Amino acid sequence: MAVQLSIHQLSKRFKTGEGVFDISLEVQKGELVSLLGPSGCGKTTVLRSIGGFLDPQAGDIRIKGQSILSLPPEKRPTAMVFQSYNLWPHMTVYENLAFGLKIRKRKKEDIHYAVSRVLEMVRLAGAEKKYPTELSGGQQQRIALARALLLEPEVLLLDEPFSALDAKLRLELREELREIQAATGMTMVFVTHDQEEALSISDRIVVMNAGKIEQLASPKEMYDHPATLFVASFIGRMNFVKGVADGKEARVDGLAEPLKTDLSGPVMLAVRPEEVQIRDEHETGLQATVRQIMMLGHYAEISLDTQHGIIKAFMPREGTEQLQQGQFCRIDFGKSALFSR
């Protein structure tokens, strides 16, 4: 697959000391890549550098092999969807959408066809005559997305576009964005601090921390095999248990985990709650006491007191019938990840 967007050794440092340092990344044509990380990690700096709203101090950005660093934002083959909708309140939906095409001197009938088509794509057909103030927040964001799609960019940039919306609406728009991306084959770079959002819509995720890339991988690879302790703590729910490794196995009290690496010394064992297995108190495993049972729909979250602190376990709700608060038990671990500490 062809490389659509290439970032090579990008650096941008602000007076505060924050910024991004030596970022390199390739995005394939038709791919949706999310930049994920906490506030201040540099993800928006990368996005705005691609869009031309920030000038990097070093590195290069290429789209289809051509450097775009010398181009102003309006001349770049990109379009940006912001968190704020930035719609003109005195213009109708049709006028908001047609404006950019009129500037490009497109024919009237071509504009009408393009606007009608994109409104169907974002499920707002028939809204042409409405004003932005007559639309809900979700509808306004759909119009902002439609406006960007009309420009037919080589790379569509999305800067936390759904973060101001309620949870149900965010979920709906995520699904719609993925459908649009699949239908158009458009290359997209999506910035978010919401790991659930990134996991649900991305072909690949770039986890950033303190201006650098911690890991670049598919959602499944990143969830199953976090590359660093930061990624393990940031992606999904995770239990952390201190242990000791000797190059062959890692030991936590009576438990021993075989190693696939040559780690030795103090280690941190990272275990997903669904990989925590609760056993009878007379079996082998770590000693634990059931602290709390929370029903969360089709599954339950069990909080367990251990000498290593509270450990969380996920179980099918049917499996909790024999458990009760204060009960003694043993726990064992399935798949886990190990990191030096």
Q: How far apart are CA 100 and CA 40, in angstroms?
A: 32
Banded model confidence at residue 99, pLDDT cuts 50, 70, 90: confident
Q: Residue 261: its pLDDT value, please?
A: 66
Using the predicted structure, report yes or no on whether residue 49 has a pLDDT greater than 70. Answer: yes
| Sign of the Cα pseudo-torsion (128, 134, 135, 140, in order) | positive
- CA torsion 162→168→173→176, rounded to 10°? 160
Tokens 């991305």, located at residue: 202
Neighbour count for residue 230 (Cβ, 10 Å)? 19
**What mean pLDDT comes out for the span 75-92?**
87
What letters, b where the CB count within 10 A reaches 16 and e where it falls short, cover 119-146?
Answer: bebbebeebbeeebeebeebbbbbbbbb
Q: Residue 55: its pLDDT value, please?
A: 93
**What mean pLDDT comes out for the span 282-287?**
84
Using the predicted structure, report yes or no on whether residue 251 has a pLDDT greater than 90. Answer: no
Q: What is the DSSP letter of 222?
A: H
**What mean pLDDT comes out for the span 236-240?**
93
Q: pLDDT tens for residues 114-165?
A: 888 889 888 888 888 899 889 888 888 889 889 998 888 999 999 998 887 8
Q: Which residue has the higher pLDDT, 1 or 127?
A: 127
Using the predicted structure, report yes or no on whether residue 187 has a pLDDT greater than 80. Answer: yes
Q: pLDDT tens for residues 163-175?
A: 878 888 888 888 8
Domain boundaries along the sequence of the chain: 3-231, 237-340
Q: Is the pTM for the entire model greater than 0.95?
A: no
pLDDT, the chain, mean = 89
**What mean pLDDT comes out for the span 89-118?**
87
For the chain, percent of residues with pLDDT exceeding 70: 98
Banded model confidence at residue 284, pLDDT cuts 50, 70, 90: confident
Answer yes or no: are the C-beta atoms of 226 and 215 closer than 8 Å: yes
Range scoring the smallest mean pLDDT among 76-80, 136-140, 186-190: 136-140
**What mean pLDDT comes out for the span 175-196?**
91
Report helix, strand and coil shares of the chain as percent, to nearest 5. 30, 35, 35
For the chain, percent of residues with pLDDT exceeding 90: 50
CATH topology of domain 237-340: OB fold (Dihydrolipoamide Acetyltransferase, E2P) (2.40.50)
Using the predicted structure, report yes or no on whether residue 258 has a pLDDT greater than 70. Answer: no
Q: How far apart are CA 206 and CA 212, in angstroms?
A: 10
Which residues lie closer than 8 Å to 164 by C-beta, 6 or more apart? 83, 84, 137
Closest by Cα among 299, 276, 300, 271 to 288: 276
Q: Residue 191: its pLDDT value, please?
A: 95
**What mean pLDDT comes out for the span 34-41?**
92
CATH topology of domain 3-231: Rossmann fold (3.40.50)
Q: Give the relative orientation of helices 108-121 and 137-150 as an angle to the nearest 10 degrees.
A: 130
Using the predicted structure, report yes or no on whether residue 202 has a pLDDT greater than 90. Answer: yes
Phi, psi values for residue 284, rounded to 5°: -80, 160
Answer yes or no: are the C-beta atoms of 227 and 207 closer than 8 Å: no
- Order of strands, edge to edge, in the sheet holding 58-63? 19-28, 3-13, 58-63, 66-67
Q: Residue 271: its pLDDT value, please?
A: 93
